[in-house]
Amino acid sequence: MDMITLWLFLAFTVERVVELMLTFVPRIDKKQVLGVDVPVLLSFLFALVLASGSGLDFFQIVGVDFAWPAVGPVLSAIFMVGGSTMIHDILGWINAAKTNHRNGH
């Protein structure tokens, strides 16, 4: 599976699992921990586990290497919190930038 497909699949998985958790325990939907909404916190923690466990590093797609290997998966997890819609938007921006670069813009 290529990196983009993996990223989309994991973002979709995070989105659906958190929605399912909120269905089972609806009262946590409006709760906050240290000023952060619990659904956002759950999404981030789950995304971080999936990104780290799968070795997902979105920045490898665009050729960015970090001195600390954990930075890529952590930042990839942050983008995954927005769910599959956010990932789709980011990939659209990347494709547009590549197209503009090829066309000399």
Per-residue model confidence (pLDDT) at position 1: 63
* Res. 23: pLDDT tops 90: yes
How confident is the model over 58-76, as pLDDT tens digits?
888 778 888 998 898 998 8
Sign of the Cα pseudo-torsion (10, 16, 81, 46, in order)? negative
Per-residue model confidence (pLDDT) at position 50: 93
Per-residue model confidence (pLDDT) at position 30: 86
Question: For the whole model, what pTM was predicted?
Answer: 0.73
Per-residue model confidence (pLDDT) at position 11: 86
**CA dist 7 to 14, 28, 57, 105, Å?**
11, 27, 9, 28
How confident is the model over 35-55, as pLDDT tens digits?
988 888 999 999 999 999 998
DSSP assigned state of 28: G
Would you kindly state where each structural domain of the chain is located, as residue ranges? 3-102
Q: CA torsion angle for 38, 41, 46, 51 (degrees, to 10)?
A: 160
Per-residue model confidence (pLDDT) at position 85: 66
